[in-house]
Amino acid sequence: MALTGFWIRQVQWPLMEVLKENRTRPYMRELQAAQHLSREELASRQREKLRSLLDHAVSHVPAYMANADVWREYRDAPERFLQKLPPLDKTRFRRNPDAYLSRGIRTDKLIPNRTGGSTGEPTRFYLDRPAVEHYEAARWLGLSWHGIRIGDPCVMLWGSPLELNRQQARTYRWKERWLKNRLLLSAYELDERSLDTQLQRIRRFRPAYLYGYASALYTLAQMMLRRRITLGIPLKAVVSTAESLHEHQRQAIAAAFEAPVVNEYGARDGGIIAYQCPAGNMHAFSENSYLEVVDPLTHIPVFPGVPGALLVTDLHNRAMPRLRYQLGDIVALSAKTCPCGISFPLLETIDGREDDMFISQHGHFVHGHYFNHIVRNLESFRTFQIVQHEPQRLSLRLVKEPDRFLPADEAKLLAGIRSALGEVSVQVSYVDHIPPASSGKTRYAIRECPLTSVQPPE
Ligand SMILES: [Zn+2]
């Protein structure tokens, strides 16, 4: 593993830079240099980047071209100009995504992406390479705060790509193993009975760190704590991502793996937004995105310390700029400075995505993201919500995508659910929309029964 890491750092990455013009490491060095600048310097660099992005948006992006005259008036105060634009929520974006594509851009040169997002609404969008490489740079910088280097061995507790056939899956695993030094464990197939085997695989791989969904890491940690098993190898960190990390989860994960738990805050459609530092605070990468927090109803900016809807403006995606993109998360900014010495601004609270783990008829634990993964690959549904009332009884609410709906997709979705959970009963209903919970967020995978209510057969 150490040799693979050495190879990745010393040969593979430098080669990628020469042959593919990958700029992740140079961007990381820029971030590294910026992290100790003063607040004022950071703000002024961010303003310059924002100004340049807005220059581009009003002249090349159809959705923003009507604002060109107003922009000329406000060019000295780009933050104030932004406040004149309505927040871009997913529904509005999905109505006409092509309007956000820069004119003259060739989509075959871009990186297509899609997401279920925190609201469960599948959204399709494009990124360009500089945007993705800036996200990667931010992630590696955040990891470096905990002593983790590019190429260090990592065990990922992750969703496996369902759409791959056997050969593709084998190639994928090979690439992960030898080009990225990563071992994938499926967050869709955690299981009390295979716990020893899984832990043995982790020990053999000797990772420097673990990386996975908060709820999946927590489930694994709970199984270990219940059976008083430890991993027995020193980890630099356990990195939790993609969902809110609650304090009780953090404590259980830290206790089970005997390692610090690090929170990564990012979104498929928002990039790597913030990373936890060794002092325990969440630093936002102000070099990569401009963040605003507004009242969810009035859209008036709220003060630091007050939670509100997070709006993200990615400063680097020129291919498809989305200004004030509303991720669906509730966040509070902070005016405090951190004792760790990093000057990137802090987020005080993050109320992000909530996914539950589901339980199958065979005693497997299946991460809620599994269902999202299936729906994302069907064109028929705008959004969905699945609830496991009891281990064998579920309900599924679906919102149709009117122009793309195929009745056969319902059967595909049910087959996917049953292949993970076993022969469960699923009551399907079609609705116009799925109302958010009292917290203001829509959850799409909810389990109402206790996770231990099925005893796995011996
Ligand atoms: Zn800090």
> 97 CA to middle of ligand 1, Å?
37
> 31 CA to middle of ligand 1, Å?
15
Q: What is the pLDDT of residue 445?
A: 87
> 176 CA to middle of ligand 1, Å?
31
Q: What is the fold, at CATH topology level, of the domain defined by 357-447?
A: GMP Synthetase; Chain A, domain 3 (3.30.300)
Q: String of b and e for 357-393 (b: at least 16 CB within 10 Å)?
A: bbbbbebbbbbbbbbbbbbbbbebbbbbbbbbeebbe
> 387 CA to middle of ligand 1, Å?
38
Q: What is the pLDDT of residue 377?
A: 82
Read off the pLDDT of residues 69-84 as tens digits, 9 standing for 90 and up: 999 999 999 999 999 9
Q: What is the pLDDT of residue 307?
A: 86
> 341 CA to middle of ligand 1, Å?
6
The domain locations on the chain are 357-447
> 325 CA to middle of ligand 1, Å?
26
Question: Within 13 Å, how many C-alpha atoms sit on residue 347's CB side?
Answer: 30
> 260 CA to middle of ligand 1, Å?
15
> 266 CA to middle of ligand 1, Å?
17
Query: Using CA atoms in the order 435, 364, 176, 24, what is the torsion angle rounded to 10 degrees?
Result: 30
> How far from the centroid of its chain's Cα atoms is residue 208's Cα?
21
> 245 CA to middle of ligand 1, Å?
18
Residue recorded with tokens 């995508």: 401
> 45 CA to middle of ligand 1, Å?
20
> 347 CA to middle of ligand 1, Å?
11
> 281 CA to middle of ligand 1, Å?
5
> 337 CA to middle of ligand 1, Å?
8
> 216 CA to middle of ligand 1, Å?
26
> 143 CA to middle of ligand 1, Å?
13
Q: What is the pLDDT of residue 441?
A: 55
CA distance 191 to 228: 16
Are 232 and 204 within 8 A, CB to CB?
no
Q: What is the pLDDT of residue 453?
A: 47
Read off the pLDDT of residues 107-136 as tens digits, 9 standing for 90 and up: 888 888 877 544 456 678 899 999 999 999
Low-confidence ranges of the chain (pLDDT < 50): 117-119, 453-458
Q: What is the pLDDT of residue 118?
A: 44
> 118 CA to middle of ligand 1, Å?
26
> 369 CA to middle of ligand 1, Å?
30
> How far from the centroid of its chain's Cα atoms is residue 48's Cα?
27
CA distance 425 to 11: 53
> 145 CA to middle of ligand 1, Å?
9
